[in-house]
Amino acid sequence: MTAESIEPVSAPASRPVALVTGPTSGLGGEFARHLASRGYDLVLVARNELKLRALADDLRVGFGANSEIIAADLATSAGRETVIARLELGVEYLVNNAGFGTSGEFWTADPELLQSQLDVNVTAVMHFTRAALPSMVAAAKGTVINVASVAGLLAGRGSTYSASKAYVISFSEGLSGGLAGTGVQIQALCPGFIKTEFHQRAGIEMSSIPSFMWLNVEQVVQTSMKDLDKGKVISIPGAQYKVLTAVGSKVPKSVVRKLTNLVGRGRGRT
Ligand SMILES: NC(=O)c1ccc[n+]([C@@H]2O[C@H](COP(=O)([O-])OP(=O)(O)OC[C@H]3O[C@@H](n4cnc5c(N)ncnc54)[C@H](OP(=O)(O)O)[C@@H]3O)[C@@H](O)[C@H]2O)c1
């Protein structure tokens, strides 16, 4: 099978369908398991086809969920087009979760890698939401979760990654107004540090982060779901991050920048 292809790995979907990007690791995997446990069939999107197939098997055995897999690189327009085509057929639930960070200084980073980050973290989120909404609005039912980050709420934690997540938050907040009364919900999920492959993949050293600052994927997904039930557009898992972001919104940005640079060493990450 070529990359960027759609393949049903089991019987055609008869249950509501949720599409999750980046389920081969970390947070996306937990979203896929959670939605399967709630009776959804899945469309699983990432690059690693072997892991997608293994996850589809797990979801079938564990929850009786049927999965389609789309092996696609979301940094490419061909990869995104395959996902857009599937979304235009209609899904009830979309989790825009795939994303990545990078290490090093902005001025020495590979420009192509930075463009890929923008394409995965922002372009894919915008186009996938655009493709999913028409059928959701027509059905007066649907949910879009866009995974952002606390980094998008607090200035001074790097450049391109934070900026990409700030876009996702602002985009989701803006859309939530337009979607009011349509029966479709949108959420910007803003976690702090989560134990996943994220930092290792990005090459970011995290040994100095105190244990109380770490979240786990179950906690993040549970908070996201509870906040959807409450109609919250911005979901911030963990009391420590609720306090941090609340304080951060009350003090001048110059103070936030100083603090985030002091605590998180603003350098060494883009
Ligand atoms: N971990 C944290 O501390 C943290 C904090 C705040 C927000 N977040 C956000 O949470 C989301 C999930 O991250 P995670 O922590 O679960 O990271 P992760 O363990 O590294 O998982 C990232 C997922 O994204 C997929 N992905 C990455 N690049 C892709 C590409 N070009 N095309 C298609 N899929 C791609 C990966 O799949 P393949 O490699 O198989 O393609 C993988 O399934 C991200 O948006 C991240 O920015 C993470």
In this structure, are strands 67-71 and 5-8 parallel, antiparallel, or unpaired? antiparallel
Check if 196 has its Cβ closer than 6 Å to any atom of ligand 1: yes
- List, in sequence order, every residue forming a beta bridge with 162; answer none if it has no partner: none
Domains of the chain: 5-264 (3.40.50.720)
Distance CA 268, CA 20 (A): 30
Residue of 40, 161, 167, 241 marked catalytic: 161
**pLDDT for the residue 4:** 52
Ligand 1 centroid vs 143 CA: distance in angstroms? 20
Report whether residue 190 contacts ligand 1, using a CB cutoff of 6 Å.
no
Of ligand 1's atoms, which has the minimum distance to the CA of residue 28? 16
Dist. CA 251 → ligand 1 center (Å): 31
Summarize pLDDT for 235-246 with one digit per residue, the tens.
999 999 999 999
Do the Cβ atoms of 263 and 152 come closer than 8 Å? no
What's the CA gap between 120 and 46, in Å, rounded?
11
Indicate the pTM of the whole model: 0.94
pLDDT at 1: 40
Ligand 1 pocket, residue 34 CB under 6 Å: no
Q: What is the pLDDT of residues 50-78, one digit of tens each?
A: 999 999 999 999 999 999 999 999 999 99
46 Cα to the center of ligand 1, angstroms: 9
CA 6 to chain centre: 21
What's the pLDDT score for residue 264? 58
Whole-number pLDDT of residue 2: 43
Pocket test for ligand 1, best of 70, 97, 218 (most atoms within 8 A of CB): 97
Q: What pLDDT, on a 0 to 100 scale, did the predictor assign at position 208?
A: 84
Place of tokens 């337009």: 178
> Ligand 1 atom closest to Cα of 147?
45
The pLDDT tens digits of the residues spanning 102-135 come to 999 999 999 999 999 999 999 999 999 999 999 9
Distances (CA, A) of 110 to 73, 121, 122, 187, 263: 18, 17, 18, 32, 26
Catalytic residue list contains 167: no
Q: What is the pLDDT of residues 174-191, one digit of tens each?
A: 999 999 999 999 999 999
For ligand 1, atom 45: residue with the closest CA: 99
